Structure 1
Amino acid sequence: MARQFKIPPHDRFLGQATSISFHIGTTNKIVKEKLTPTKLALFRKMVFGRFVDMDIIFNSPLVHYILLREVEDDRKDAMTFNLNGMVVTFTKEDFLLVTGLWRSLHSRCFKNDFVGDIHIDTLETVYKEMEFENDMDAMKMTLVYYTELGMMGREKTKANVDKTLLIDVEDLDYFNSLDWRNVLWERKLLGLQRGFSGKAKNY
């Protein structure tokens, strides 16, 4: 059974559709004028930094035409269109694929089980049982696990997972470029300096 148009052909009208991409060109221009090169480089590492160098030409008449072809659909979290006889649906997954705004590593790997802090010992237990969505998630989660336990040697029962790692590892190029030599050296030195802290009086 053919789906019915939400707006019947005889009720269609002229108009100018807008969306996020309608404003992104102007927004990018202003941001690039406002931020110094150093600040702009930092912004490029943020969640929306991938868009700042995009040169988007928004085709308002085309979007308007597509919206007029929307058909009835029971789903509230998607839009369905009849385009030249072909019924196509625009879903959240499609939006995330186009924008690259997938769920964070934390939500993908830990689901809703850990909203707050995650103890190191919990990370180790959960890591052994994780089923990864793809090879890249397996690599990223392994880097977090290996950094915390293998390289940092954090106390399992006392310390929490450094949430910054879960963010930094999303960009593997950035993660690999971090100054791990100094980070690990300072961590090792601090650990050795604290080795006998508060223990001498016991002997």
Structure 2
Amino acid sequence: MYACNCFVVNVTPGFIALHMHVIILFLDWQFIILKERWFPGKISTSIGKGVLSSIQAKLFDRQKLIMKGTCFAHFFDCHEIVVQSQLIHYFLLRQVQQPNPKEMWFLVAGRYVRFFISEFCIFMGLRCSGDSDTGIFESRQSQLKNKYFSQVDTMTHEDVKSTFIFACQMPDLDLVETLPDHDVALIGILYFVTAHLFPRDYKKVVDHYLFTLVEDFPELNSFPWGKLLFEITLSSLKDALS
């Protein structure tokens, strides 16, 4: 379990706040988006709806059991998450410039609020430490990809979704041979990662490393998914605010 380092600093600009043995001066901290440029939220980004309920409804218990052998097990027992997009927009407008590129700070009601990877880790329940370099998995072969997606040159999230739905429908179609439970579970994990775990506007193309990680549960479970997602989130915010 990770310790929570989230806190609110009740100071005004010009005061000095001490945290984690680092002296932080708030004198020059300004809103990234100036107040005169604030605008009502028109939210176009949200998490994938229906992914968890689809997995819960369509998979057999034996397939779900395989999926629960991964670091994502706690998600599969969750209800669909309701995201308050307008509240997120409210906070993003109040994000301030600050010297640490690995943190986000917001000025809300005269107080500075920090959002760091430790807080992200707590509510995601995923590993947030370790090497998040995905390049080492790109050169590996993927049996799953070669077996079920070889006909597609550029794999997208929609391709994974349609393959998952078809794999789940095969028993109802009275086909002579359905897919092995292990393969269906792997496709389900890939569907969960690409359609629910990653932001919908991050990438439509499914990177090769996701296939190789899904096939290798020890590597999958030791990979710092929380750290990768946090880095993606920070990068997306910087691009949006630049």
Tell me the TM-score normalized by structure 1: 0.46
Q: Which has the higher contact order (CA 8 A, sep 6+)?
A: 2
Tell me the TM-score normalized by structure 2: 0.39
